[in-house]
């Protein structure tokens, strides 16, 4: 079993989740406004669901299929949200996914975390492409993708069903070379 990585930014530490984070995950992700704009977060967020989710991270990492980070403040270690690279195809691509607890919205935490994860994906994992998607009715998520250099690659109309309603899904992606061209500090 490999040790999962941690990343540090100006204001954040992205680290592996631990069982002690479960209560905060349930509190933050359990907010209906978080579940409403994500594809996989349930509402209500039942007792035990956070523990189960966290307990699966190591196996996914060990299989080379993904990595999930707890997004925490550098100053005091408060859990802000989560960010993941999922469905990893080694040497090729992965899907970026994230959520930030409502008390931490509009502070740039998600963009800062996503930039660090892109760097990790391209420099450490050797990926060629990272893609992401968001519900069309959730433009703030798309703005994060745009800020980190992702390009809109289209819209899949009525592609997913969220709470019984067919939803459009906006698709974004970025290639390693595009990321390198926009990131002067990359090597």
104-137 pLDDT, tens digit per residue, is 999 999 999 999 999 999 999 999 999 999 999 9
Confidence of residue 2 (pLDDT cuts 50, 70, 90): confident
Is the pLDDT confidence value at 49 over 90? yes
For residue 74, what are the CA distances in angstroms to 8, 14, 49, 164? 8, 9, 26, 39
> Average pLDDT, stretch 155-169?
95
Domain spanning 7-182 has what CATH number? 3.40.630.30
The reported pTM is 0.94
Rounded-to-integer distance, Cα 86 and Cα 96, Å: 6
Confidence of residue 186 (pLDDT cuts 50, 70, 90): very low
Rounded-to-integer distance, Cα 110 and Cα 131, Å: 16
Token pair recorded at residue 57: 């991270």
> Average pLDDT, stretch 43-69?
96
Quick count: other Cβ atoms within 10 Å of Cβ 170?
A: 21
Token pair recorded at residue 137: 């009715």
Q: List the chain domain ranges.
A: 7-182
Is the pLDDT confidence value at 162 over 60? yes
| Cβ-proximal residues to 113 (8 Å cutoff; 6+ apart), any chain | 9, 12, 14, 69, 71, 80, 81, 83, 98
Confidence of residue 1 (pLDDT cuts 50, 70, 90): low
Is the pLDDT confidence value at 187 over 70? no
Question: How confident is the prediction for the chain on average, in pLDDT?
Answer: 95
């Amino acid at each position: 079993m490999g040790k999962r990585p941690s990343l540090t930014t100006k204001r954040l530490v992205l680290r592996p989740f631990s069982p002690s984070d479960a209560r905060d995950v349930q509190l933050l992700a359990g907010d209906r406004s978080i579940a409403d704009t994500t594809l996989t977060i349930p509402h209500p967020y039942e007792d035990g669901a956070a523990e189960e989710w966290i307990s699966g991270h190591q196996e996914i990492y060990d299989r080379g299929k993904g990595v999930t980070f707890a997004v925490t403040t550098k100053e005091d270690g408060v859990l802000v949200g989560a960010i993941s690279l999922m469905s990893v195809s080694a040497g090729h691509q992965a899907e970026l996914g994230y959520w930030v607890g409502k008390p931490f919205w509009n502070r740039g935490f998600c963009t800062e975390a996503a930039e660090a994860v892109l760097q990790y994906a391209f420099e450490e994992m050797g990926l060629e492409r990272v893609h992401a998607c968001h519900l069309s009715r959730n433009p703030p998520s798309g703005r994060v993708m745009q800020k980190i250099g992702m390009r809109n690659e289209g819209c899949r109309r009525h592609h997913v069903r969220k709470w019984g309603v067919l939803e459009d899904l906006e698709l974004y992606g970025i290639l390693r070379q595009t990321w390198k061209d926009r990131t002067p500090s990359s090597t």
